[in-house]
Amino acid sequence: MNEMAAAKRINIIQGEYKVTDEPNAVITTILGSCVAACLRDPVAGIGGMNHFLLPGTGPGGMSGGDMSRYGVHLMELLINGILKRGGRRERLEAKIFGGAKTIASFSNVGEQNSAFATQFLRDEGIKIVGSSVGGEFGRKLEYWPASGRARTYPLTGAETQKTVAMEQRPARPAKPVESSIEFF
């Protein structure tokens, strides 16, 4: 059975993150100007992905759904989620994806997102082992946290515009994506 057939697919959207230690999990998302950071502890076999729309922290006094649009909030949730499950900060490695300039007449928020993610990870001492950022078209991203493997597929112009429309919808509160139910 190949990796694709055996994979447990977990999709995330803007404002979400997912951390998993399942060896056959693949986390997927669609990116335009948004950025996804993929982090993992290769020794512990724990990793995850986030998906944020805007760089930095945003204006003061924000909470809930508004915060989920901003990179600093989702970066901290992702890192802390990995550490809570047994990952070690000094072993974390990262890959960064997305940040396209999807609308020529707008400011390049995609470039700002990519720069933010890169600087945030450097400031946190987390090694960046790969990236695919920029360009004019969106991407579909697949990330296997157990192996660190990532694959991107370029979107067409029409698919990118659909992604831009999704990115412009109101934010929902940041939350982990539940992929299983646990009974106590």
Q: What is the pTM of this model?
A: 0.80
Reference 130, options 108, 160, 150; nearest CA is: 150
CB proximity list for 11: less than 8 A, separation 6 or greater:
27, 28, 29, 177
Q: Where are the domains of the chain?
A: 6-154
Structural contact between residues 13 and 29, judged by C-beta atoms closer than 8 angstroms:
yes
DSSP assignment of 55-85, as one string?
A: SS--STT--GGGGGGBHHHHHHHHHHHHHHT
The region of weakest confidence among 11-20, 45-54, 113-122, 154-163 is 154-163
Q: How far is CA 33 from CA 4, 6, 60, 166, in A?
A: 27, 30, 23, 11
Tell me the pLDDT of the chain averaged across its residues.
82
Largest CA distance in the chain: 52
Q: Which residues are catalytic?
A: 34
Q: Identify the residue with better confidence: 135 or 162.
A: 135
Q: Is the Cβ–Cβ distance between 39 and 90 less than 8 Å?
A: no
Reported as a single tens digit per residue, the pLDDT across 38-94 is: 999 999 999 999 999 887 655 454 444 455 567 898 999 999 999 999 999 999 999
* CATH number given to 6-154: 3.30.1330.200
